[in-house]
């Protein structure tokens, strides 16, 4: 298994470069990498005990592969495959496929590494690859969004590096476990880096603009898997060190509420989806032990929604209300929205029930409010008019959607114990409440939230505020 792991982790980088040499086979090579990751994730689920690999003594690279990584790797594999299918009939160049495979590889690397320096390298490769993907269309707007992303993430990673060396100073090792007895400033700095990278709470407000202004397949990749690269180490640390867990849970609830607050009031479909990603990341963090399954369902839903949103005639909800959609697109949209609101028979239901079961008492109210907010914001999609004229949609698009929605239906079986009467009634009530609120209040509401928090200067400023907040939280 350990040889196999090494081959699997290097494969995407090797293929990524190979694609530039053999541009004719770009799609096939990229798809092959996606399939290999899916197989690897399957092998992880079959393996009973977690696999730990350590090279070069305690200074060196250490990897840890368990069920949690399995879920994340499977998400990554499915989303990448769907994006490749989606782009198959388009005239995307080998550059796109090469970069997305390198991105795929670096995201995989973050999901298995267990020391701070390998994580740093993986995260930096990831930000370079995603910058190239964002800025690829080369108009001013995309370049600016990409630059902004690169600047924010690189600044965060510098804070992170300082934290990493402080951990090394106390333990002479970069392992995650070393965070336990390190000084509080090390902890605050490392967490700041990961929070910004993962788009959590106020530190994650760079995310909406970046995700909504990129092209649809790129947004699907970013929202489906790339943000999870920042989330995963947080989960890993929370599971490893019990004294960190309450803080991660606190950030989870705060993020879920903040994201959903913006999402409910948003009038632009892609921005709404991006804000909603922020809120769903909160759900993942709120119950670290079962975060993997939630991450899988969210990755599938969010990438399919972004791909669908790219095919809608307009981005503005107001205009969408007056243009009936193609019934087939509408159906896919509704299935995905139902899953994310937690409707039974789709995987989102199991994930929500599982998360709600693993909450601490003080989190329950916050997350229930966030769940209602989710139902309200997705009512915007569900109540769009249907029966419009047929759009010409190619096979690649349908393959991608079938893969993602099919994944949702299949993942449903993973937690079939959720189907009891009380469990089923609660999400239905939540959804009913959300729809009622949407029809009575939010449909007519026209509040435009100020966007000053998303401005570039404020993003950097907020980082230092969050650093102070983290430091305060550790000292308490």
Partner 1 sequence: MDVMSTGVIAYFVVIASRFGIFTPILSDVEDIKYADPVPQAVILTAIVIGFSIQALMLVGAMKLAQDNPTLETVEIEKNNTP
* CA nearest to 301, candidates 265, 352, 253: 352
Residue among 36, 155, 358, 368 that touches partner 1 (CB under 8 A) = 155
The residue from 451, 453, 464, 465 that contacts partner 1 (CB under 8 A) is: 451
Say whether residue 168 binds partner 1 (CB under 8 A).
yes
Of 456, 469, 473, 474, the one binding partner 1 (CB under 8 A) is 456
Shortest Cβ 98–partner 1 spacing (Å): 16
Footprint on residues 295-354 left by partner 1 (CB under 8 A): none
Are 76 and 34 spatial neighbours (Cβ–Cβ below 8 Å)?
no
Do 190 and 438 touch, CB atoms closer than 8 A?
Answer: no
Q: Which residues contact 436 (CB under 8 A, 6 or more apart)?
A: none
What's the closest the beta carbon of residue 166 comes to partner 1, in angstroms? 8
SS3 at position 61: coil
Distance of closest approach, residue 265 Cβ to partner 1, in angstroms:
16
Helices within 88-227 (DSSP H only): 94-112, 116-135, 140-171, 184-198, 207-213, 216-221
- Closest CB to partner 1 among residues 35, 453: 453
Is the distance from CB of 387 to CB of 327 less than 8 angstroms? Answer: yes
Burial state string for 264-299 with b = 16 or more CB within 10 A and e = fewer than 16: bbbbbbbbbbbbbbbbbbbbbbbbbebbbbbbbbbb
- C-alpha to C-alpha distance for 461 and 443, rounded to whole angstroms: 34
Stretch that binds partner 1, among 239-247, 281-289, 344-352, 448-456 (CB under 8 A): 448-456
Task: Tell which positions 171-190 bind partner 1, by CB under 8 A.
Answer: 172, 174
Q: By rule CB under 8 A, what count of residues binds partner 1?
A: 39
Q: Per rule CB under 8 A, is residue 357 in the interface with partner 1?
A: no
By CB under 8 A, is residue 131 in contact with partner 1? Answer: yes
Contact characters 106-125, partner 1, x per CB under 8 A? -----------x--xx--x-
Q: How far is CA 354 from CA 294, 315, 350, in A?
A: 8, 33, 6
Does 289 bind partner 1 (CB under 8 A)? Our answer is no
In terms of Cα–Cα distance, which of 149, 128, 130, 125 is closest to 459? 149
Does 274 contact partner 1 by CB under 8 A?
Answer: no
Smaller CB distance to partner 1: residue 165 or 365?
165
Between 85 and 174, CB nearer to partner 1: 174
State how far the Cα of 77 lies from the Cα of 79, in Å rounded to an integer.
Answer: 6
Should residue 128 be labelled a site residue for partner 1 when binding is judged by CB under 8 A?
yes
Contact between 75 and 295 under an 8 Å Cβ cutoff? The reply is yes
Contacting residue, 52, 169, 323, 394, with partner 1 by CB under 8 A: 169
Query: Residue 57: which region, alpha, beta or left (left: phi > 0; alpha: psi -120 to 50)?
Result: left
Q: Which residues 226-265 are close enough to bind partner 1 by CB under 8 A? A: none
State the Cα–Cα distance between residues 366 and 258, nearest whole angstrom. 11
Residue 200 CB, shortest distance to partner 1, in Å, is 22
Binding site for partner 1 (CB under 8 A): 59, 117, 120-121, 124, 127-128, 131-132, 135, 138, 140-141, 143-147, 150-151, 154-155, 158, 161-162, 164-165, 168-169, 172, 174, 209, 212-213, 268, 451, 455-457
């Amino acid at each position: 298994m350990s040889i196999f792991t090494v081959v699997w982790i290097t494969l995407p980088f090797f293929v990524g470069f190979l694609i530039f040499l053999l541009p004719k086979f770009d799609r096939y090579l990229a798809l092959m990498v996606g399939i290999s990751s899916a197989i690897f994730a399957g092998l992880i689920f079959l393996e009973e005990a977690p696999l730990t690999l350590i090279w070069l003594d305690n200074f060196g690279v250490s990897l840890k592969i368990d069920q949690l990584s399995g879920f994340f790797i499977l998400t990554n594999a499915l989303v990448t495959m769907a994006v490749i299918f989606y782009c198959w009939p388009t005239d995307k160049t080998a550059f796109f496929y090469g970069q997305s495979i390198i991105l795929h590889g670096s995201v995989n690397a973050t999901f298995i590494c267990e020391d701070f320096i390998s994580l740093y390298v993986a995260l930096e490769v990831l930000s370079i690859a995603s910058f190239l993907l964002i800025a690829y269309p080369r108009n001013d707007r995309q370049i600016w969004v990409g630059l902004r992303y690169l600047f924010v993430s690189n600044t965060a990673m510098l804070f992170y590096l300082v934290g990493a060396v402080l951990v090394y100073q106390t333990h002479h090792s970069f392992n995650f476990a070393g965070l336990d007895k390190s000084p509080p400033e090390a902890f605050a700095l490392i967490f700041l880096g990961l929070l910004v990278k993962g788009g959590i709470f106020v530190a994650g407000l760079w995310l909406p603009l970046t995700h909504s202004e990129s092209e649809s397949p790129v947004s699907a990749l970013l929202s489906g898997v790339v943000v999870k690269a920042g989330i995963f180490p947080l989960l890993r640390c929370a599971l490893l060190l019990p004294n960190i867990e309450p803080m991660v849970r606190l950030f989870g609830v705060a993020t879920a509420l903040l994201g959903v607050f913006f999402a409910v009031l948003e009038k632009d479909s892609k921005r709404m989806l991006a804000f909603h990603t922020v809120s769903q990341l909160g759900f993942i963090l709120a119950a670290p032990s079962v975060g993997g399954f939630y991450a899988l369902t969210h990755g599938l839903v969010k990438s399919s929604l972004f791909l669908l949103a790219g095919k809608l005639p307009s981005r503005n909800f107001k205009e969408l209300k007056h243009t009936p959609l193609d019934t087939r697109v509408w159906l896919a949209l509704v299935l995905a929205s139902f899953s994310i609101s937690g409707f039974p028979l789709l995987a989102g239901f199991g994930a929500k029930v599982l998360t709600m079961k693993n909450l601490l008492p003080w989190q329950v109210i916050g997350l229930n409010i966030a769940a209602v907010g989710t139902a309200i914001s997705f009512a915007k999609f569900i109540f769009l008019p249907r029966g419009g004229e047929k759009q010409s949609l190619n096979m690649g698009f349908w393959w991608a959607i079938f893969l993602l929605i099919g994944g949702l239906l299949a993942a449903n079986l993973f937690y079939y114990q959720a189907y009891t009467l009380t469990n089923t009634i609660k999400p239905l009530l939540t959804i009913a409440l959300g729809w009622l609120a949407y029809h009575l209040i939010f449909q007519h509401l026209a509040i435009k939230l100020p966007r000053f928090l998303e401005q570039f200067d404020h993003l950097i400023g907020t980082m230092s505020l969050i650093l102070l907040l983290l430091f305060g939280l550790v000292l308490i």
